[in-house]
Chains A and B, each alone.
Chain A
């Protein structure tokens, strides 16, 4: 599995989602730009393990300084069109923020998305009816991300 935050990680996650027609079909009507604000990301030791061509040194430096990773996941017609580090000019339609371990719990099936949000462990900002409609698909998305993540 690729290390978190590397180019291969973004690619592998994208491929894992897009290669399953059921995933794509389940979110076929979804057009969202999802900003993931992940606090306490498991990046300790990442610097020693990766080369500068697999992770932008500036981004790594900022992540370490802020102890936070900001990722953008653009979904169009059910496919992940882009998964990368966020940029200042991104205009997300959904913001999900919380500690990495809280996203990880959903990904590992240890917690339910709805309760993570109602319990303020993951904060949701966006159009509620759209999110509510695809809450199971969002859960699947976390599962795929976590399943394709290796931490240093």
Chain B
């Protein structure tokens, strides 16, 4: 069979995607949603996500998204990811040296983003071993970020890891729309090389590095997503170039597996700005398991995909979220924090505050869903889905009522028709457990975060707070058990 060329393959995928949008009526709706696009008239890749995520639907309208703000958000997203890992290294170093008392294991000061990408919090000891389990003893993980409108790679940055701990940050490149916002701290971090990090020597070189071409195809790093449709293919295309760069710059690391983690700006910001860890885990599930959303391409990619993740995403969503929470946070649920201060990332802080006040699934769900409700969320889907993929146990009576009336779920088969047949473009969550409210919690510092039991309810939060729990994670087990006793739970 004759092999088709890259451009032809891209065009086929593009036409297929546009046809899907058209058949669903989403192309017409998108044209009416000018208030949430920084570039009216252009359709971003993964437009499906823009329709359903409150982040884009509500927050972009709230702040009045525009081209300048779009670029600024890209910068804020970049620095927050980068400094998170730097901070994680410091935290894990400290925790390895100090003997952390049992009651402080889950203290938010001891939790860190020791993951790749650094999107979920974990105990330092667990993070180290899980990183080895996921990526191997020696691994270089580079994050490749792509603009949703231009399809250009605008930064590549990552870490070399030894024994599960990042030991050296490697900034491959970042375009001038990122570096124009650099402050003095960023210039040191991303345009200078030290024992801890390596970067091109100037902003100009940082940008030019993205013009490195693939030896065989001649495609620049920057342009890979313009030639390859799927994020998995972006990773494949970029990985060869990055491999060559690694051989040039770090011959001592050639033995380590090189992972590419590829994502668009919108997906990345959603992952970075989640309110809680359980929320993050459902997005990981959807990002790597897009059939859950009825999408036939990846929203995010690991290249190569760590085998353990392949196994985990085969589980039902609820099981996946619980396993991930157990694995990385001992079964607790954390309110994620930002590493950068508000002065550096003011827009991400606005987004976090908005989400905390309204809840992640506003306006269809008012408030913050408890972790066990999030784990059982039913997403909107472009294809027929089945409840079995999402739930471990049958829905509550109240949840069934909503699933039937709003999603036309079939009680006998568990099937839920696609969005085009019902018009449902939002998540459904179990109403039998009351949503949590921002005011239920002790004052929230978004640079600290909080941590709570996975089984929290408004009642349990109230009791824990009354008994003196401050959300910090210190003595969380004691306060959780005390609340359980008071609530008559075994």
Contacts and interface: CB of A to CB of B under 8 A. Distances in A.
A119 B25 contact: no
Task: Pick the most buried of A118, A121, A125, A135: most chain B CB atoms within 10 A of its CB.
Answer: A118
B32 A135 contact: yes
B293 to A, nearest CB: 15
Nearest to A125: B423
A88 interface: no
A132 B422 CA distance: 12
A125 B32 CA distance: 19
Contacts of A117: 423
Interface in A102-141: 112, 114-115, 117-121, 124-133, 135
Task: Pick the most buried of A120, A128, A131: most chain B CB atoms within 10 A of its CB.
Answer: A128
Contacts of A120: 363-364, 426
B364 A128 contact: no
Interface in B10-63: 23-26, 28-29, 32-33, 35, 51, 57
A114 B29 contact: yes
Instruction: For chain B, give the interface size range.
Output: 20 to 34
Given A133-B25, A133-B28, A114 B423 contact: no
B28 A135 contact: yes
Task: Pick the most buried of A119, A121, A130: most chain B CB atoms within 10 A of its CB.
Answer: A119
Interface string A54-98: 000000000000000000000000000000000000000000000
Interface string B188-228: 00000000000000000000000000000000000000000
A133 B28 CA distance: 7
Interface string B423-440: 111100000000000000
A10 to B, nearest CB: 26
B423 A124 contact: yes
B304 to A, nearest CB: 37
Contacts of B459: none
B404 to A, nearest CB: 12
A149 to B, nearest CB: 25
Interface in B387-435: 406, 419-426
Contact of A130 (B25, B364, B425): B25
Contact of B421 (A112, A127, A132): A127
A128 B423 contact: yes
B464 to A, nearest CB: 32
A128 B33 contact: no
A118 B34 CA distance: 13
B423 A135 contact: no
B33 to A, nearest CB: 7
Task: Pick the most buried of B26, B406, B420: most chain A CB atoms within 10 A of its CB.
Answer: B420
Contacts of B23: 129
A127 B57 contact: no
B422 A112 contact: no
A138 to B, nearest CB: 12
A114 B11 CA distance: 30
Contact of A128 (B25, B32, B35, B426): B25
Contacts of B33: 114, 118
A130 B464 CA distance: 51
Given A125-B423, A127-B421, A132 B363 contact: no
B28 A119 contact: no
Contacts of A130: 25
A81 B41 CA distance: 37
B426 A132 contact: no
A118 B425 contact: yes
Contact of A114 (B32, B406, B420): B32
Contacts of B28: 132-133, 135
Contacts of B426: 120
B420 A129 contact: yes
Task: Pick the most buried of A115, A117, A119, A132: most chain B CB atoms within 10 A of its CB.
Answer: A132
Closest 9 CB pairs of A and B: A132-B25, A129-B25, A114-B32, A132-B28, A128-B420, A120-B363, A124-B423, A128-B423, A128-B25
Interface of A: 112, 114-115, 117-121, 124-133, 135
30 contacts: A112-B32, A114-B29, A114-B32, A118-B33, A118-B51, A118-B425, A119-B57, A120-B363, A120-B364, A120-B426, A124-B423, A125-B406, A125-B422, A125-B424, A126-B423, A127-B420, A127-B421, A128-B24, A128-B26, A128-B420, A128-B422, A128-B423, A128-B425, A129-B24, A129-B25, A131-B25, A131-B423, A132-B28, A135-B28, A135-B32
Given A125-B423, A126-B423, 20 more contacts: A112-B32, A114-B29, A114-B33, A117-B423, A118-B51, A118-B57, A120-B363, A121-B363, A124-B423, A126-B422, A127-B420, A127-B423, A128-B24, A128-B26, A128-B420, A128-B421, A128-B423, A132-B29, A133-B25, A135-B28
